[in-house]
Structure 1
């Protein structure tokens, strides 16, 4: 029985890329999956059989190395988090919320700052450059690779291509940040639908409506995913938000109290590191805000 990878799920069908990388086989899932409460996901490695009508059946889902709730994808090992530096402007709160999601899933992340070619001249452009460079210094210090790109001019694209090779990559970010433009630049001839930012709303329309893995020339896959701007901690099942902040790890082991929340306890090593400048105030403040949001969600439910 051949093995393959689900590269697209649409209207009850699963499209399985076989070992020969030929045209994906359109498959239905076995009824037993529904009875077991299982659901095949894009990215799943599966065993499948061929049917007489030229289609196929997904017979078995092989063990997963990772699973994301939103976007729903299995076995991804690298997240490409795309944030534009202009329209919509870079939001560190949203960036940190994405990183909590990715760290919780046990994945690594590359931060992509897009639309460099859209930065205007003058005072506004100088401000954008300062904010972008400050964010690059901060997240590089924490341990994330930061790539500055322009899909139109090609800036940073070779660096990004090299980073994607050999991985199942999740491309994620707020609507309108240029994800589809990046994929079109990475995979010439693909021509995913793109949309300009709405002047009234200040954000883009959702141009990608389903999760699909795109085979990359350098090896590996890219998942272009539907845009989204909200990540619900309750939906993700995240309890230990502090463990999703990389820079907290070394300090949290020195906190006086076991199970320290790093918000109010005396002799908290994380708070002391914030006060001494070893942990960025912006990151710590976002953590406190996320904790408050999580507690409010728990209180309601």
Structure 2
């Protein structure tokens, strides 16, 4: 029987099997011997020990297509990044750092700008102008008013989606609306876990209501703690340009081969910025990250 790990705590792994429910499983000793630790999001093969008590063992961890360190989760199909249009105003550099991280992992991103009910039209237009031009899908929502929640739900169906965003943007309210029709019996997990003894924050997949044509795949979301900073430091500065998708049409058209689009003259990317084809906010964040990576190399 195959399923997906939706939560792991105190040596137990809770595996959701579509149409069968959640099984409390232990990992076989061979994983510890091989130094392999199951992650939330892992697709696994289990053997059922007792169907009545929904208990079993994990026999095999299937091949991961990707994994994140923070949160510790595997097999992410996409990321839903939530920022507020206003109150607080979006921190563009933080947002762009997250986009770079997802580009590096080859994880598609959907941008969700919340609190659009209290935002000025000019603020909404600016966010749309900056990020739609990069090729990212952009949604403007209001958790308070329920605007566009149904549209966001549709893009979650049949996918494992990591939700991320800083504190204060209404992410919790949005998640509560997205969970309004959760089908997994989360209470059955809660009864097996003494929450009073385990106060550490753990990654957890939530199983969403399915549409009939995608029940074989499962729809999951994983919440992440609010992030306040992200450091781009696990690759070289020469790689950074490849994580800004709007630069791609200009690659190979600069005067110098291997142009990093910072110092070099006759740079097609800098020309595109001057002409308004690439947004200056994005380019400025690129340069800031490039300098950061440059300083890292010196030390």
- Residues 1:106 and 1:155: Cα distance change in structure 2 (over 3 Å): same
Separation in 1, partners of 2:138, 2:200: 24
Q: Match of 2:258?
A: 259
Q: Whole-Å Cα distance in 2 between the matches of residues 73 and 299 of structure 1?
A: 33
Shift in alpha-carbon separation, 1:259–1:71, aligned structure 2, 3 A: farther
Q: How many residue pairs are counted as aligned between the two chains?
A: 273
TM-score (norm 2): 0.83
Task: Mark the CA change 1:84 to 1:32 in structure 2 (over 3 Å): closer, same or farther.
Answer: same
- 1:109 is matched with 109
How many Å separate the matches in 1 of 2:181 and 2:201? 19
Partners of 1:115 and 1:43 in 2: how far apart?
30
CA offset digits 1:160-211 (Å, max 9, x no partner): 1112111111111112222221111112276xxxxxxxxxxxxxxxx99321
User: 1:10 is matched with which residue?
Assistant: 9
Going from structure 1 to structure 2, the CA distance change for 1:12 and 1:292 (only over 3 Å counts) comes to farther
The partner residue of 1:214 within 206, 218, 221 is: 206
| 2:116/2:124 contact within 8 Å kept | no
Which residue number corresponds to residue 70 of structure 1? 70
Instruction: From the superposition, tell whether residues 238 and 146 of structure 1 become closer, same or farther in structure 2 (CA, over 3 Å).
Output: farther
Distance in 1 separating the partners of 2:85 and 2:94: 13
Partner of 1:43: 41
Match of 1:156 among 144, 148, 151: 148
Q: Evaluate the alpha carbon distance shift between residue 19 and residue 188 of structure 1 in structure 2; reply closer, same or farther with a 3 A threshold.
A: closer
> Structure 1 residues 236-245 or 283-292, which shifts more?
236-245
Deviation at 1:21, TM superposition (A): 4.0
Gaps of at least 5 residues in structure 1 are: 120-124, 191-206
Contact 2:130–2:282, Cα closer than 8 Å, also in 1: no
Aligned mates of 1:21, 1:134 — CA distance in 2 = 46
Unaligned runs of 5+ in 2: 183-198, 212-218
In structure 2, what is the equivalent of residue 89 of structure 1? 89
Quote the Cα distance in structure 1 between the aligned partners of 2:287 and 2:10: 41
- Residue 218 of structure 1 and its aligned partner are, at CA, apart by 3.5
CA contact (8 A) 1:67 1:73 kept: yes
How do residues 172-187 of structure 1 correspond to structure 2 at under 5 angstroms?
172-187=164-179
Please give the residue correspondences for 1:172-251 in structure 2 after superposition, counting only pairs within 5 Å: 172-188=164-180, 209-218=201-210, 220-234=219-233, 236-237=234-235, 240-251=239-250
1:207-245, CA deviations, whole angstroms, 9 ceiling, x for partnerless residues? 9932111111135111112222222222x5576211110
| Deviation of the 1:38 alpha carbon | 2.6
